[in-house]
Amino acid sequence: MPTASLFEYVAANLENPPLTPEELEFFAEHEKIEIIPNFTLNLPNGMLTCIEGTYGPFRSNIPIKVPLYLALSLYRRGKCRIQLPSWMAKEELKGVLEEERTHPQYFQPVPQYYVEISKLLFTEARAIFGSNSELCEIYDMIEELKKVRNSKILDGLRKVSGPITVKLNHLSHAESNKIRLLFENSLNMWHQLSKNDKVWQENQLAGNDASMTL
């Protein structure tokens, strides 16, 4: 079966990729985040049972970890304070950004869903950052981080020139999703080409006509 060309494949799948950003956001909402509820849940043990898990105990002013979706829905109702995740602290981000810039060959370890979590927090829970300037500062730093990592990814992609194994440690979900279609299929394409090449060479060695495979 002749392989579809890369362009064809990407064009065909661009409309319905294997994972949409919305789906990623949904996954990201299951990441745990620390909140400080300002209510005491009047249920046995103060535990809240959701479809996918039981969280709690919810006691006023005692921090607990809950999934982001729960945190945000409580936050929208004014029932909790969300604690800024530690990796979103200014100093922490500054350090990561610095490291990210100085080491062009590695990615810094960041939370798997940092893009989605930060986006959700920025849009839904602006008040947890304290002042507006603080928010802007953190926002800028995360944007900067995204840019730096993106340029690294692009640089890396340029270097792909054969069916090789590429190790991409510490790539976040959003980032890998971004390059998934292109990267995966270009590698496949490389693989196909090399396979053809091999066959062709074997045929050459066998003295057959090359036109048979092509």
List 95, 130, 140, 170, residue binding other proteins (CB under 8 A): 130
Using the rule CB under 8 A, give the single segment among 11-19, 38-46, 68-76, 172-180 that binds other proteins: 38-46
Query: Chain centroid to CA 92: how far?
Result: 19
Task: Give the list of residues 6+ apart from residue 165 with CB closer than 8 angstroms, or none.
Answer: none
User: Contacts with other proteins: how many residues (CB under 8 A)?
Assistant: 15
Asked whether position 162 contacts other proteins by CB under 8 A, the answer is no
Beta bridge partners of 53: 50
Beta bridge partners of 81: 36
Asked whether position 104 contacts other proteins by CB under 8 A, the answer is no
Residue type, 66: V
Site residues (CB under 8 A) for other proteins, limited to 63-82: 63, 78-79, 81
Separation CA 75–CA 163 (nearest Å): 48
Cβ at position 122, least distance to other proteins in Å: 18
Separation CA 55–CA 65 (nearest Å): 8
Q: Residue numbers of the site for other proteins (CB under 8 A)?
A: 36, 38-40, 44-46, 60-63, 78-79, 81, 130
